[in-house]
Amino acid sequence: MKHIRRFLSFVASRLVIFSIVAALLILAFYLAMNTANIYLLLNDGMTARASVILTRKNADELVNFFTNDFLLGDETLNIGLSNASPYIDYSITDFKYNLSLEWVWAWPWENSATATIVERVPRITGKVVEGKQNLVKNGTLSATPPSWYGGRYTVRLVRQDGRWKIDQLTQTQLIIEEATAAPSSAPAQP
């Protein structure tokens, strides 16, 4: 009887250890999977947002990355799509976008996550649209597009229908890029 009790105690202790290790491995797998999904969403979504603000094109694709509430309340995006946009007088042909993920946390069993990112657009290539060249000549308008106001953000994400979406973006630090774009000699076509 003593040997059976020792044997059962040995098996039970090993089973508990195995269960704990398996649970930790599963937890690590889901944390890594959520982190990877969130990084890809943040990079693709924020790049698409910057592209829409700079070019005023493909705004309908943002619903793949952002919640409707976010899109309706995003002041920067709304200004970028309005006539008050600082890029309205330019035809943006290219830009360099950098996003670095500083921190992210998403429990596998929760439908929300938090991240800290740094967004920068160090280079914007574009030219003044045709018909606005006279504003460049009289000094009212710069020949190069204005610099991007990037920054450090705290991002809240939510899981909707099994997909992560950006729900809230709070800027905690402003980063003003130096103008590095070179003007093009030919005017842009409207």
Task: Inform me whether the pLDDT recorded for 188 exceeds 80.
Answer: no
Task: Inform me whether the pLDDT recorded for 14 exceeds 90.
Answer: yes
CATH number, span 2-176: 3.10.450.50
pLDDT tier, 70 (very low <50, low <70, confident <90, very high otherwise): very high
Report yes or no on whether pTM surpasses 0.85: no
In this structure, are residues 73 and 125 in contact, taking their beta carbons and an 8 Å threshold?
no
CB-based contacts of 5, cutoff 8 Å, min separation 6: none
